Structure 1
């Protein structure tokens, strides 16, 4: 169920007086990252075979291409039909297709479990409001400055992908279109009031981007001002807007569309790059995986594409929207298979609203299925994550944890991996915002 590098690491941590045991505690995190995540780090990194994660990343990129082709494959490029199938409201459809509905750049984070034999894709966050970038490359980097870990890493030829650097390069490349020959001014913009809840994480992101020499700033969409066809944040003209406000957050504001409009207009005028455009919300919907998994759509894919879908995507079905309307048989199957299924609302994120059938009684499960909101939901087959052994530095005890892995992609391809972990069987949802016991881990790869 595990690998030889993990086994060796655990063996060394169990030796009395091992400095490897406290390597994560001894690592010197940058100030903003320490403030946001320093108290929620797993005591050790996780290890993956390099070939395995790169093969999976190749498949994830294929899935990105398949998802973004769904409007054409299944709905004749009619975005209104596509959005209706996903239970996306008319108002939300207007907002997220404001720039014409084109395919967004390849940018997102795939969330997956490893079931002991292979990775399985649980969700694909095709979006720019991504968590984990500040930790994915930085945790491995600071660990390599700890002597005990550096020795272990050298012995096993451990490597990592510097996610922050890859994403900084992607933002620079995007900004080159409007800021040729100079460093682009990049602003991460949150929703109104968003910095109150997410400011610590975004300050760690800002710290990271600035460490690569970027002219990088954070603010909220309501802080933006316009002069002519340029947009400004606190007096600075912007070249790239890293969008960390979602469609739902904009629509929650009485004047939400008006708040978003100046950035849309500047993007259309070619004076700023909106990274990513709202069109990402067309494809980050959980219902997209149901469209890939549903037997009604299989004739729309080639054999090689079906092979990728079958490798990555667990059984997933839609409830709600026109795509899920003829789902009486699906409902009965969901009722019968309660202990193997989990329900995830389309409109929520961060683990909110998820109901695990194996943690729910029959009556409550039926009520959950029959009371799905207007935005719809998906029901997905349970994937049981393999155990990750961890030695507690305080007690010296060997514990079992389970990990949810996050794999980043940019237009340049694979951009690294990090993980969130919980004690085994603690909860059906492994997320920083969903459970205070969740910890973050850096990820290293090795070659056999």
Structure 2
């Protein structure tokens, strides 16, 4: 038993009656907006050694994703994005007119399940519009519960502050950016999404203000372009943190709304964290290209081991033959016969949207959905079976098994913190607030410390 598992057992064994961290968390500033109002009934523990290991594994896989345009398409980004299923409007809005790649910040969040032999990747969300930057608020809220606070102090537990990670990423990405110089940062949303996100962005602005950053929540329709740069609310902006996503760009008018921002960033008039080009590598279709057994020769043995260790079998939905566990099969027939072991996903969706679990879907409806997805922006992925962890039952002394989705941040080349969703529905195809998922956060265990007697 590792240190994190041992401490989790001790936490549950010594949990006093009446201790209800989920009730404490209900008073957290995180409650009520994009995160919902339901919380896990204890903190989740992760060993520092394991956090470093999973961060390094995600980083190595991300490195391979960044090489896909060169390996498969001779560096042609347009051909790469077209292969991912992106429509012309999104390709035009995302890439430079001359097709040259941008230097991209190393910012992403991997959503993972934990199987018996380690973490497995469900998807990798690239770029900046990532939920969980502010999750340390939940750690601090939990520390208001006396039992949690005493347990954390006794065992020397720590946690990662996502706001500090974000500031470090800004500095790593843009050497001229200095948080100590009181910069102005636009927290920039899409006009149609801004009302739903305004409260969340205002909280982010308050957290950044504690670090000397003047952050301005706004949407793209409020940006003014001048010869010296871009301005919002009368202030010249040093850095834009993009919160909108590629799926917001649907029409030529949408692309025209975005174009002046991209031009200003490419001319060096403002730092853009991150360009939409980051989302190319956050597409689930890009993971399918990594997983495609027909292109194994593009990767050396060590690189194939990186892919196989983290990524479950993932394929674009095509009416063709493919390989599964060394056997050549017709993909559509295989999908119909093995729906209990497969998930169908839209390649550019997020937040658990557009996910169809085969084991939750009648056979006819599943077959129809897979056929309708052929040649579209969809992937099939092997079902990952997470190992449940025990959590206290709210209001009682018992525990119940709960499965977790780990949202682990890639910050540069390593672990940048995590936030979690959990559910007692052990066969759930998606763990999200919309389907009853509970929000949680992680504390790090110093697994170099000897166990307490």
Superposition TM-score, scaled by structure 2 size: 0.90
Determine the C-alpha separation between the residues in 1 that align with 2:36 and 2:345. Answer: 30
* Alignment of 1:446 onto 2:441: no
The Cα of 1:71 is off from its aligned counterpart by: 0.5
Question: Which deviates more from structure 2 when the two are superposed, residues 173-182 or residues 364-373?
Answer: 173-182
Partner of 1:385: 386
Partner of 1:212: 211
* Alignment of 1:376 onto 2:377: yes
Structure 2: segments with no counterpart, 5+ residues:
323-328, 448-453
Task: Report if aligned partners of 1:175, 1:239 keep a CA contact under 8 Å in 2.
Answer: no
Structure 1: segments with no counterpart, 5+ residues:
none
Partner of 1:74: 72
Question: Which deviates more from structure 2 when the two are superposed, residues 50-59 or residues 178-187?
Answer: 178-187
Task: Report if aligned partners of 1:179, 1:239 keep a CA contact under 8 Å in 2.
Answer: no
User: Cα gap change, 1:373/1:93 in structure 2, threshold over 3 Å: closer, same or farther?
Assistant: farther
The Cα of 1:401 is off from its aligned counterpart by: 1.5
Task: Report if aligned partners of 1:134, 1:201 keep a CA contact under 8 Å in 2.
Answer: no
After superposition, give the CA deviation of every residue in 1:46-72 in whole Å (9 maximum; x if it has no partner): 112221221111010001100011000
Partner of 1:353: 354
User: Cα gap change, 1:417/1:282 in structure 2, threshold over 3 Å: closer, same or farther?
Assistant: same
Task: Report if aligned partners of 1:44, 1:390 keep a CA contact under 8 Å in 2.
Answer: yes
Residues 270-309 of structure 1 aligned to structure 2 (within 5 Å) = 270-309=268-307
Task: Report if aligned partners of 1:406, 1:418 keep a CA contact under 8 Å in 2.
Answer: yes
User: Cα gap change, 1:192/1:379 in structure 2, threshold over 3 Å: closer, same or farther?
Assistant: same
Partner of 1:117: 117
Q: How big is the alpha-carbon RMSD for the aligned residues of Structure 1 and Structure 2?
A: 2.4
Determine the C-alpha separation between the residues in 2 that align with 1:25 and 1:358. Answer: 34
Determine the C-alpha separation between the residues in 2 that align with 1:103 and 1:268. Answer: 10
The Cα of 1:284 is off from its aligned counterpart by: 1.0
The Cα of 1:408 is off from its aligned counterpart by: 0.7
Partner of 1:84: 82
Task: Report if aligned partners of 1:346, 1:377 keep a CA contact under 8 Å in 2.
Answer: yes
Aligned residues: 436
* Alignment of 1:9 onto 2:7: no
* Alignment of 1:44 onto 2:42: yes
User: Cα gap change, 1:148/1:313 in structure 2, threshold over 3 Å: closer, same or farther?
Assistant: same
After superposition, give the CA deviation of every residue in 1:330-374 in whole Å (9 maximum; x if it has no partner): 222222211100010113222222111111122111101100176
Determine the C-alpha separation between the residues in 2 that align with 1:34 and 1:180. Answer: 28
Question: Which deviates more from structure 2 when the two are superposed, residues 174-183 or residues 258-267?
Answer: 174-183
Determine the C-alpha separation between the residues in 2 that align with 1:374 and 1:233. Answer: 42
The Cα of 1:375 is off from its aligned counterpart by: 4.1
Superposition TM-score, scaled by structure 1 size: 0.91
The Cα of 1:44 is off from its aligned counterpart by: 1.2
Task: Report if aligned partners of 2:92, 2:255 keep a CA contact under 8 Å in 1.
Answer: no
Partner of 2:96: 98
Determine the C-alpha separation between the residues in 2 that align with 1:299 and 1:251. Answer: 36
After superposition, give the CA deviation of every residue in 1:224-260 in whole Å (9 maximum; x if it has no partner): 01121411111111111111112221335x5212211
Partner of 2:325: none
- Secondary structure class of the residue paired with 1:314: coil
